[in-house]
Amino acid sequence: MNPCSRCSKRWGGPEKLEFVISENMFVVDDAGAAIRDYASQGYNLVIGHGSQYGGVLQEIAPDFPKTSFAHGTTVDTFVDKGITNVFAYEARSEQGGYVNGVMAGALTKSNIIGVVGPIETGDAKLYVDGFVAGAKSQNPNAQVNVNWIGSFSDVALASEAAQTHVKAGADVMAGTAQMVVGAIGVAKDNNALWFGTQASQTSLAPNAVVANQIYDWSGVITEIIDLINKGTLGGQAFQITLANKGLYIEYNTAYNLPAEVKDLAEATVDAIVTGAINVAP
């Protein structure tokens, strides 16, 4: 499910579990109409997967007090506004970002690293901040150039930003949001390395992708469903982390990652989990 899609569920036992997914809802008003429509149809849980949907959820949730809503990536449940039927969830993406950054700092030969970001908010900002911190911690001489393109979906603009990084000498790049397919193509065409996040991007450029931070929301969704079944319709926020396995690093087996760099990455994961390295924003 991409960052701008929404998912809803209806259940009454495993045999009655129903999923409905609407993708690519980049226009918030369109997403709001779909969220309201799902709630009107009687779905027990409606998820607006994108922090940009917070405003419409604040408007819609009070109209359906027996329906649960959830959105992310954010920790705002709107309880302070008197709303009690909204859950929130967040990816601590700075953690895997830091690990990817450490590998990037170790692998760059030009000491120039490029990052293509969408909008400076939510888990995108967390990831980029973590990536930059990790790269600099491993390689203080590295120059990490960050370009926020102002869009989650503009593939052409992401491609242009990546081309700018390559022209500046970047031999390693990273990025986040669905528009990165454009940037990954540039990395592939210019023999630059790429670090992904959210989902596996290896298939887009098997010779360029080194590793991906993977999001696994299943634990969060299961916990939300359990709470609803027990009568709690909202008011709680959840996080996925390296420690609770909601985040993990997937290495591209087609890329010949030096053993010492993989060992460094694994040691970094362990240090974040134990608290020896603190990458909290």
Q: Are 54 and 26 in contact (CB under 8 A)?
A: no
| pLDDT tier at 1, thresholds 50, 70, 90 | very low
Per-residue pLDDT band for 23 (boundaries 50, 70, 90) equals: low
pLDDT in tens, 82-107: 999 999 999 999 999 999 999 999 99
Mean pLDDT of 114-142: 96
Strand 193-198 and strand 237-240: the pairing is unpaired
- pLDDT higher than threshold 90 for residue 211: yes
Distance of CA 52 to CAs 32, 49, 92, 260, Å?
11, 9, 18, 40
Residue reference for tokens 């008011």: 235
Which run of H or of E encompasses 89? Answer: strand 86-91
Checking DSSP bridges between strand 45-49 and strand 6-10, what pairing results, if any? antiparallel
Query: What pLDDT is attached to residue 160?
Result: 98
**Least confident window among 21-30, 177-186, 256-265:** 21-30
Residue-range domains of the chain with CATH? 6-92+216-240 (3.40.50.2300), 93-215+246-274 (3.40.50.2300)
pLDDT of residue 19: 67
Burial class of 7 by CB neighbour count within 10 A (0 to 12, 13 to 18, 19+): buried
Q: How far apart are CA 163 and CA 159, in angstroms?
A: 6
pLDDT at position 27 is 77
Residue 2 binned pLDDT confidence (cut-offs 50, 70, 90)? very low
Question: 236 φ, ψ to 5°?
Answer: -125, 150
Q: Are 130 and 197 in contact (CB under 8 A)?
A: no
Assign 230 to helix, strand or coil.
coil
* pLDDT per position as a tens digit, 26-39: 678 888 999 999 99
How confident is the model over 52-72, as a mean pLDDT?
94
Give the Å distances, CA to CA, from 245 to 6, 24, 94, 126, 217.
Answer: 23, 27, 14, 18, 10
Q: Do residues 35 and 57 lie in contact, with contact meaning Cβ atoms separated by under 8 Å?
A: yes
Q: What is the number of helices (H) and of strands (E) in the chain?
A: 8, 12
Q: Are 108 and 142 in contact (CB under 8 A)?
A: yes
User: How sure is the predictor about 24, in pLDDT bands with cuts at 50, 70 and 90?
Assistant: low
User: What pLDDT shows up at residue 178?
Assistant: 87
Mean pLDDT lowest among 13-22, 47-56, 120-129, 151-160 = 13-22
